């Protein structure tokens, strides 16, 4: 894992000198020996060694050891004895080599110390709610409420610096490849990306609203019409969704768009970009090109559209093996058009209680149960349904293990249910039995997505990606007659089973775009009201174009091995969308509402 000191070396290269200080605390080094320096920082610790005090003085660049006499004056009344941890002080002193045997090789300034001749107290702290130097992590609520203290912790310093470095390297790469950084509006009109919009009321035009962008999708396409052939932006996006652990109402994307390209150009560019960033930031060598899998194959083999290809198992269809089963629940499932799906986990030996816990998980997902078959020495030796199994079923099952020992899991039921349950159990078992190489970064492209899916609730077709995604040429003829068969020119990029980006080649012809809207059941009036401004642009010389957006927060989190994106966002919101630091969202004054012409129905 990347070390904070390494990061400082990469990020904070120039001397942090101002009129108050000569260099940053962590930048004091042997080259300063014999020199008088001015330093400013926070006291991280004070150690009492009889007549002298050792002080660790820290700032963003790291820390340096100060040595001061106990009677060293601060002002007329106070001495060094009055200083407490996390006071902000300014010192002057001479840099000396540390006595042999007292060096600290872990920090950059570890071979030197500063003999203090003058101290000034710039800011005296109250008692801190927690110490950033403590090993134990406070509750997340406290961490977010006092984020400014939390952000002083080593781990957060590392995360924020890595985030910064990734952004820098992304820019560096894209600049090198002729991309132009262009801002698009935040106060804009709703663009559907499948979520609810955050609305901003207009004061000048009462009763009207801006929407915060769910992404810069339409503006980046407009920029292509305008001839800005390679656009990019590291940009905030806003989606008003019910928040899950890995979502935030505002999040950051590396958003890009190119003209005169095919899928291959975008995919190749993103692979090069990621290889560059991983090498520069983590010194990790990614092998490119990344593997690709079609959406259909991903669903069939892994049961999800974002497979973690580090998982060594694949879904198998056992329906044939059980086609003459005497067990009602299996026979009924098959007769009702369902399947028996499962997977073969060789080399694992779960305890009975573990097996029961998987069974419970399967049931909680709506399956009738979970079948498992322990195979040893080429024979099924245990299973909850052992006595109901016919010999040919047993031997067919045992054969799937190719002579090794292990366990076969299976679920009978509706295809989608059996698939989803199998996928979930497969994932859990891989992790529970350390079958996943967690030090590996496994990228994967998922391609050939369906263009539409059917929304049961709304009773209409909806876009799988977004309505501006182009269908594959060969399906244009069946757009209206068989929408669900149409495949899209879309691609998602997956890292270790998490979606870290997605994009597509876009529609650049007005008539095709209108046909898509029609299939999505938008009336002409709706299309005009919501997208008229955009469709009009397609009339005036729109080049073929395409692009992608990478989820920046998630990418950084995965690079750092952080499970939660809140760990890489300086000021994140809680599950209920609250900023615990500023206490947003909050009520506003009546006067503000009046100005906007807004009346709150009820609180």
Asked if 333 contacts 391 with a C-beta cutoff of 8 angstroms, the reply is: no
- Read out DSSP for 314-375? --EE-TTTTTT---HHHHHHHHTT-EEEEEEEET----HHHHHHHHHHHHHTT-S--EEEEE
- In the complex with ligand ASP, which residue's Cβ is closer, 108 or 489? 489
Asked if 22 contacts 15 with a C-beta cutoff of 8 angstroms, the reply is: yes
Tell me, residue by residue from 501 to 530, as one string, x for binding to ligand ASP by CB under 6 A and - for no binding.
Answer: -xxx--------------------------
For residue 212, CA distances in Å to 5, 187, 199 come to 38, 6, 6
Q: Site residues for ligand ASP, window 160-199 (CB under 6 A)? A: 193
Asked if 563 contacts 497 with a C-beta cutoff of 8 angstroms, the reply is: no
Q: How many CA atoms lie within 13 A of 516 on its CB side?
A: 28
The distance between the two most distant Cα atoms of the chain, rounded to a whole number of Å, is 95
| Count of residues of this chain found to bind ligand ASP when the rule CB under 6 A is applied | 9
Q: Which one of 74-82, 175-183, 446-454, 544-552 is the stretch in contact with ligand ASP (CB under 6 A)?
A: 544-552
Q: Which one of 72-80, 403-411, 421-429, 547-555 is the stretch in contact with ligand ASP (CB under 6 A)?
A: 547-555
Q: Which one of 149-157, 331-339, 394-402, 499-507 is the stretch in contact with ligand ASP (CB under 6 A)?
A: 499-507
DSSP run (H or E) holding 510: helix 510-519
Give the nearest distance from C-beta 548 to ligand ASP in angstroms. Answer: 5
Give the nearest distance from C-beta 392 to ligand ASP in angstroms. Answer: 49
Give the nearest distance from C-beta 124 to ligand ASP in angstroms. Answer: 47
Nearest C-alpha neighbor of 408 from the set 376, 362, 453, 443: 376
- In the complex with ligand ASP, which residue's Cβ is closer, 405 or 498? 498
Q: Is 221 in the site for ligand ASP (CB under 6 A)?
A: no
Q: Is 548 in the site for ligand ASP (CB under 6 A)?
A: yes
Enumerate the β-bridge partners of residue 235: 253
d(CA 313, CA 410): 13
d(CA 347, CA 344): 10
- In the complex with ligand ASP, which residue's Cβ is closer, 194 or 585? 194
Taking CB atoms, the residue at the shortest distance from ligand ASP is 215
Using CA atoms in the order 349, 350, 352, 358, what is the torsion angle rounded to 10 degrees? Answer: -140
Given 65, 109, 215, 221, the residue binding ligand ASP (CB under 6 A) = 215
Give the nearest distance from C-beta 257 to ligand ASP in angstroms. Answer: 7
- Read out DSSP for 36-97? EEEEEEEEEEEEEETTEEEEEEEETTEEEEEEEETT-BSSSS-BGGG--TT-EEEEEEEEEE
- In the complex with ligand ASP, which residue's Cβ is closer, 64 or 237? 237
Give the nearest distance from C-beta 345 to ligand ASP in angstroms. Answer: 35
Give the nearest distance from C-beta 173 to ligand ASP in angstroms. Answer: 17
- In the complex with ligand ASP, which residue's Cβ is closer, 24 or 547? 547
Given 27, 109, 159, 217, the residue binding ligand ASP (CB under 6 A) = 217
Nearest C-alpha neighbor of 360 from the set 426, 415, 421: 421
Give the nearest distance from C-beta 541 to ligand ASP in angstroms. Answer: 21
Beta strand pairing call for 490-495 and 443-447 = antiparallel
User: What are the two backbone dihedrals, phi and then psi, of residue 81, each rounded to the nearest 5 degrees?
Assistant: -65, -20
Give the nearest distance from C-beta 237 to ligand ASP in angstroms. Answer: 6
- In the complex with ligand ASP, which residue's Cβ is closer, 32 or 545? 545
Given 55, 274, 330, 549, the residue binding ligand ASP (CB under 6 A) = 549
Q: Which one of 68-76, 133-141, 498-506, 533-541 is the stretch in contact with ligand ASP (CB under 6 A)?
A: 498-506
Distance of CA 534 to the CA centre of its chain: 30
Give the nearest distance from C-beta 502 to ligand ASP in angstroms. Answer: 5
Q: How many CA atoms lie within 13 A of 327 on its CB side?
A: 21
Give the dihedral sign, CA 481/487/489/491: positive
Give the nearest distance from C-beta 519 to ligand ASP in angstroms. Answer: 19
Give the nearest distance from C-beta 185 to ligand ASP in angstroms. Answer: 15
The three-class DSSP label of residue 250 is strand
Q: Is 547 in the site for ligand ASP (CB under 6 A)?
A: yes
Q: Which one of 155-163, 438-446, 545-553, 588-596 is the stretch in contact with ligand ASP (CB under 6 A)?
A: 545-553
Q: Which one of 113-121, 381-389, 420-428, 543-551 is the stretch in contact with ligand ASP (CB under 6 A)?
A: 543-551
Nearest C-alpha neighbor of 555 from the set 358, 278, 309: 278
The residues of the shown chain that bind ligand ASP, judged by CB under 6 A, are: 193, 215, 217, 502-504, 547-549
């Amino acid at each position: 894992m990347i070390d904070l000191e390494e990061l400082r070396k990469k990020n904070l290269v120039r001397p942090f000198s101002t009129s108050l200080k000569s260099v940053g605390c962590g930048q004091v080094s042997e080259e300063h020996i014999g020199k008088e320096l001015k330093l400013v920082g926070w006291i991280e610790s004070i150690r009492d060694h009889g007549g002298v005090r050792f002080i660790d003085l820290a700032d963003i660049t790291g820390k340096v050891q100060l040595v001061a006499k106990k009677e060293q004056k601060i002002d007329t009344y106070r001495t060094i004895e009055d200083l407490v941890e996390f006071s902000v002080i300014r010192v002057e002193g001479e840099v000396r080599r540390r006595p042999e045997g007292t060096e600290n090789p872990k920090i950059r300034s570890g071979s030197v110390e500063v003999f203090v001749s003058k101290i000034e107290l710039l800011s005296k702290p109250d008692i801190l709610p927690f110490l950033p130097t403590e090993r134990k992590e406070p509750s997340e609520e406290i961490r977010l409420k006092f984020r400014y203290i939390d952000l002083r912790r080593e781990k957060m310093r590392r995360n924020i610096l890595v985030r910064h470095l990734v952004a820098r390297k992304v820019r560096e790469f894209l600049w090198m490849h002729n991309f132009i950084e262009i801002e698009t509006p935040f106060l804009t009109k709703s663009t559907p990306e499948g979520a609810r919009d955050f609305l901003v009321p207009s004061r000048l035009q009462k009763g009207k609203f801006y929407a915060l962008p769910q992404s810069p999708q339409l503006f980046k396409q407009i920029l292509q019409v305008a001839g800005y052939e390679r656009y990019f932006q590291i940009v905030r996006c806003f989606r008003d969704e019910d928040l899950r652990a890995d979502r935030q109402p505002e999040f950051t994307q590396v958003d890009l768009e190119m003209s005169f390209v095919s899928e291959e150009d975008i995919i190749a560019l993103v692979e090069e970009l990621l290889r560059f960033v991983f090498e520069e930031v983590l010194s990790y060598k990614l092998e490119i090109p990344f593997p690709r899998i079609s959406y259909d194959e991903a669903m069939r083999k892994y049961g999800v559209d974002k497979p973690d290809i580090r998982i060594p198992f694949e879904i198998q269809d056992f329906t044939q093996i059980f086609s003459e089963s005497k067990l009602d629940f299996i026979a009924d499932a098959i007769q009702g058009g369902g399947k028996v799906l499962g997977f073969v986990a060789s080399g694992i030996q779960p305890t009975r209680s573990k097996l029961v816990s998987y069974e419970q998980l399967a049931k909680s997902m709506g399956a009738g149960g979970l079948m498992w078959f322990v195979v040893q020495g080429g024979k099924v030796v245990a299973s909850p349904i052992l006595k109901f199994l016919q010999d040919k079923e047993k031997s067919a099952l045992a054969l799937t293990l190719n002579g090794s020992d292990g366990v076969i899991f299976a679920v009978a039921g509706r295809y989608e249910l059996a698939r989803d349950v199998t996928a979930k159990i497969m994932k859990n078992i891989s992790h529970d039995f350390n079958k996943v190489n967690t030090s590996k970064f496994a990228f994967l492209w998922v391609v050939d997505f369906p263009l539409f899916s059917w929304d049961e609730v709304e009773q209409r077709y909806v876009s799988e990606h977004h309505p501006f995604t182009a269908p594959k040429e060969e399906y244009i003829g069946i757009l209206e007659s068989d929408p669900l068969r149409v495949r899209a020119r879309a691609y998602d990029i997956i890292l270790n089973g998490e979606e870290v980006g997605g994009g597509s080649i876009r529609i650049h012809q007005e008539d095709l775009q209108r046909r898509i809207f029609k299939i999505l059941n938008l009336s002409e009036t709706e299309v005009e009201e919501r997208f008229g401004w955009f469709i009009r642009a397609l009339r005036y010389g729109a080049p073929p174009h395409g692009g992608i957006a990478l989820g920046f927060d998630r990418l950084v989190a995965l690079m750092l091995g952080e499970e939660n994106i809140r760990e890489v966002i300086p000021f994140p919101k809680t599950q209920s969308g609250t900023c615990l630091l500023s206490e947003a969202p909050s009520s506003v004054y009546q006067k503000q509402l009046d100005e906007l012409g807004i009346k709150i129905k009820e609180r």
